[in-house]
Amino acid sequence: MEEEIRQSWWKRNWKWALPSGGCLTILIIIAIIIGVTFNSLAKSTSIVAYINVVTELQGNTEVAQALGKPIEILEEGYDPEVSKDHLDVQMQLDGQKADGTLIVKADKIDGKWVYSMCTITVEGTNQVIDIKDALND
């Protein structure tokens, strides 16, 4: 009677395990690098405050009614490396109905962004829309 010699798991499955494991390892390393980079960027610059402003600007119904959608940022005066605890920018906006100017002033206090000014002035009507309270909630 012949004994059947059973090969090890690695010998039976290396053809698919090696490429799969290698690719998975590379994807995990890339995800870790991206996560660490974004986390350090968010902590070391004012990009979080800037993203909050742009998100609120795009979702605000009063701004959408005054400027029309879509709202584009024509002139970005934002440099995330200028200050990590202060944001002071003025940007030109272009909407379907009207153009406008966004002015933002914010400071990071105790780890939280506090907006002292965030207004959109609609050109032509000089209507001023203040979205500071929505950002400070």
Give the count of domains, the chain: 2
User: Which range marks the domain in which residue 25 is found?
Assistant: 11-44
Give me the residue label for tokens 């053809």. 15
Does residue 1 register a pLDDT over 70? Answer: no
One domain for residues 36 and 66: no
Does residue 79 register a pLDDT over 70? Answer: no
Rounded distance between C-alpha atoms, residue 40 and residue 43, angstroms? 5
One domain for residues 58 and 15: no
- 28 band by pLDDT with thresholds 50, 70 and 90: very high
Does residue 88 register a pLDDT over 60? Answer: yes
One domain for residues 60 and 114: yes
Contacts (Cβ under 8 Å, ≥6 apart) of 85:
46, 107, 108
Contact 89, 117 (CB under 8 A): no
One domain for residues 89 and 104: yes
Predicted confidence (pLDDT) per residue in 48-78, tens digit: 788 888 888 888 888 888 888 888 888 666 6
Give me the residue label for tokens 């009614």. 65
